[in-house]
Structures are given as C-alpha cells and as structure tokens.
Structure 1
Amino acid sequence: MSCVRKVFDEMTKRSQVSWTALICGYARKGDMDSARELFDKSPKKDSAAYNGLVEEGKMWFKAMGEFGLTPKTEHYGCMVDLLGKAGCLEEAEK
C-alpha cells in the first residue's frame, strides 16, 4: 500500500475513482484507520456524481454471466453501494 499511496500522493489531479480505489485498498488490507482518514479527507460529491456510473455498473453486473462469472456477495455489495450513493435506495434495497 505504501507504493500505491506514493502514486496517489503524487497525482496532480485525483478523480473520485482514484480516491475510492485507495480507500478500498486500505479497507481490504484491514487498515480501517487509514481508510476512514482518507474518506474524511475525500472531496464530498453529491449523489449526481454517481448517476453516470449506475447504468454502466448495472451493465457490467449483468454482463458477468456472459463471461461465465457468477455474482458473489462482494459483487452484490458493490451494486448496493453504487446504487445507494446515487440515491437509488429503493433499487439498492431490492
């Protein structure tokens, strides 16, 4: 993670994707303190920022079957997260 963090720190422009990737990296490694610290520092975006990603996320989720992949708990969790952040709470609940 130290190499990843170095690259992140040297980025001149950080997107929501780069923030999310680093936060998730720390979380997956069990370093919740670093993940939470970064989350608190990340630029706050309103739910509209995710709306363009929802349709793409749905498309890739549905396409998993075409690649011979069966969605696992982690995949459903990602969809719930994406839909929730986009304000699609009823769809996320389903």
Structure 2
Amino acid sequence: MRNVLVEYVYTGNEEPWQQLIADFLNAVEADARLAGRFHYQVFSMPEGRKVHIGRWDTDETLKTLQSQAFFKTFAEGIKGFAGDSLKSGFGNEVFSTGQ
C-alpha cells in the first residue's frame, strides 16, 4: 500500500472543518472506482493538532482520486484550515496488521 501523512494545527470552529471531512469521506465512499481501494482516517489530537492518513493500492487509484472535483475542494479546504502549519509526505507501507 502507498500512503500519505498530513499534519497541521487548526484551533478554529470545528463545524466547518468536520463538514469538509464528512463531505470528502462520503464522496470517496460513493465513488465505485475508489471503494475498497482508497482508505482515509482523520485524527484530532490535543492542542488542535490534526493528523490525516490516506492509503491506496495503486498509482491509478491515486490519479482517479486526484482527478475528482471533490478532492480538489477537500485539498483546498484543508490548506485553508492548516495555513502555514501544513506538513505532508508520501510513503510506502512496510508493516501493518490487517486492513
């Protein structure tokens, strides 16, 4: 599996942040091309720290995701919430338990 780790700090109003996440997750789950091939988790940590972990099976899956309008809306929204605190990086899964 391939993955991305996104980290940032956001201490503003949680409602629009949560709605952006919910809209993205719902759109991913509704897309038959991504079902079972792309997985996304979001964590809210102390002091406003947010952590996102995305996992996918192939480069084709990532390209499919990134070509969707809902992905562009989500990515821009996260950039807006994160500001200068945004950090991200791609990697390959080395060890894991199950899905």
* Fold shared, TM-score > 0.5 on shorter chain: no
TM superposition score normalised by structure 2: 0.28
Relative contact order (alpha carbons < 8 A, sep ≥ 6): 1 or 2 greater?
2
More strand as a share of residues: 2
TM superposition score normalised by structure 1: 0.29
More helix as a share of residues: 1
Specify the structure having the higher radius of gyration (Cα).
1
